[in-house]
Structure 1
Amino acid sequence: MLIHPWDAPHDDAEWHHWLAEHDFGRLAVNGLPGEPPYVQPLHFAYDARRGEAVGHLARPNPLWAALEVNPDVLLSVVDDYVYIPGPWQAPPDVPSEHGVPTSFYAAVQLRCTARIVDDPADKAELLNRQLGHFQPEGGSARAAAGEAPYGRMLSGIRGLRLEVTDVRAKFKYAGNKVDPVRDRIATALAERGGPGDAAAREHLQRRRGA
């Protein structure tokens, strides 16, 4: 992922905050010899203090064999993306039809070492951490090895601890444009009001003020 200086996060807190609210990504795992990489959609819970993300997958998932051979993986999260028409991007001194269209988006890539969790008690602990993240209001029983209602189901899954070894983050929101162009884009996003436009506009305005 190419990251221009104007698209880089201002600090670690920026991508930490974003990742805490964007917890569905794609786990890329190197394929076995002769096979393409595996790309697995994954809900995960990221813990900045521990430097890890946790998740789980069904035991029959075909990627386990590849993970056991090579635990070096990439967890990729992309969201708050929108298409920006060319006229919105045109510099003030050129015809609007000469503007170059582009995409706005936020992306975080976590390079990780994957640890497979098979111990029932440890899997229950990972599930409870995920439940606390995704369902903080409660309402569901806690998982515990050998106890109802979820204990007997633990054998059907394997847990994942993804220990983060490197991070690449990008917030591509007109960071290299002059203020009149940014103002035009912000106004156009508000007027269009399509999926993702409000979040993209917030990023644009926030990063300009930082």
Structure 2
Amino acid sequence: MYLPPHFAQQDTDEIHRFITANPFATLVTVANGEPFASHIPLLLEAGEPLRLVGHLAKANPQWQHFATGSRVMAIFHGAHAYVSPTWYEKPGVPTWNYTAVHIYGRVNLIHDPETLRAQINRMSRHFEGEGEKAWIPAYSDKVLDMIVGFVMEVDEVQAKYKLSQNRSPQDQQNVIRVLQESSAESGRNVASLMQRALPENAG
């Protein structure tokens, strides 16, 4: 993605937190010169190399794209909000503040049924939580045969936190103030991220 240096997020722990907090990804492949995308949850497995795990319906042709060995891209979206130039002291134009992470890598399919079962059990428990009424996974062989599990080994991470870093301190404060009063949760979340990114709060 287009990534000016002042918008680049390079804190590894923050990037991992972002992926964990925003696991619903857009998985993009290219087959016969045509882009193809699926919208699926992906779980992060920290380590060397960093890995993402997930699964697709067997009826979804995208899993067959992995056999080419081509790189795959997973896009994670975070908080975002419209920013009006009327909020600035200095002249400006309308823009959008947002957070996004692009992950690149190659994918290996999971062929062992028990490894696949363990993976989707882990995913189900992750999203169900540990509450008293949480659903307990019990996937039959028939269900497993309807999906294709995979592991994506990450070879590149691009993280962009576009949070008005290119504006004056006063303009940044004005944007934070307006977004803090937004009726949209995403706008308020952008304000919190902007507040954390201010020089006096960084680190």
Whether these two folds match at TM > 0.5 is yes
2:181 aligns to what SS in structure 1? helix
Residues 90/28 of structure 1: CA separation in 2 closer, same or farther (3 Å cut)? farther
Is this contact kept in 2: 1:106–1:171, CA < 8 A? yes
Tell me how far 1:140 sits from its aligned partner.
Answer: 3.0
Aligned to 1:46: 44
Aligned to 1:16: 16
Aligned to 1:146: none
1:192 aligns to what SS in structure 2? coil
Tell me how far 1:198 sits from its aligned partner.
Answer: 1.0
Calculate the TM-score normalised by the size of structure 1. Answer: 0.87
1:141 maps to 2:131: no
Unaligned 5+ residue runs, structure 2? none
Q: Distance in 2 between matches of 1:11 and 1:77?
A: 16
* Aligned Cα root-mean-square deviation (Å): 1.7
Aligned to 1:59: 58
The residue type paired with residue 135 of structure 2 is S
Q: Distance in 2 between matches of 1:100 and 1:70?
A: 42
Is this contact kept in 1: 2:104–2:157, CA < 8 A? yes
Tell me how far 1:174 sits from its aligned partner.
Answer: 0.8
Tell me how far 1:71 sits from its aligned partner.
Answer: 4.0
The residue type paired with residue 27 of structure 1 is L
Calculate the TM-score normalised by the size of structure 2. Answer: 0.89
The residue type paired with residue 73 of structure 2 is L
Tell me how far 1:141 sits from its aligned partner.
Answer: 3.1
Q: Residue 187 of structure 2 is aligned with which of 178, 194, 197?
A: 197
Tell me how far 1:84 sits from its aligned partner.
Answer: 0.7
- Deviation by residue 1:39-75 (Cα, 9 ceiling, x = unmatched): 1111111122351111111111111222212342000
The structure with the largest alpha-carbon Rg is: 1
Tell me how far 1:168 sits from its aligned partner.
Answer: 0.5
Tell me how far 1:195 sits from its aligned partner.
Answer: 4.1
Q: How many residues align?
A: 197
Q: Distance in 2 between matches of 1:48 and 1:166?
A: 14
Is this contact kept in 2: 1:89–1:101, CA < 8 A? no
Q: Distance in 1 between matches of 2:151 and 2:3?
A: 27
Aligned positions of 1:116-135 closer than 5 A: 116-135=109-128
Unaligned 5+ residue runs, structure 1? 92-97, 144-148
Tell me how far 1:194 sits from its aligned partner.
Answer: 2.1
Residues 132/113 of structure 1: CA separation in 2 closer, same or farther (3 Å cut)? same
Tell me how far 1:131 sits from its aligned partner.
Answer: 2.0
Aligned to 2:103: 110
1:79 aligns to what SS in structure 2? strand
The residue type paired with residue 166 of structure 2 is N
The residue type paired with residue 20 of structure 1 is T
1:13 aligns to what SS in structure 2? helix
2:72 aligns to what SS in structure 1? strand
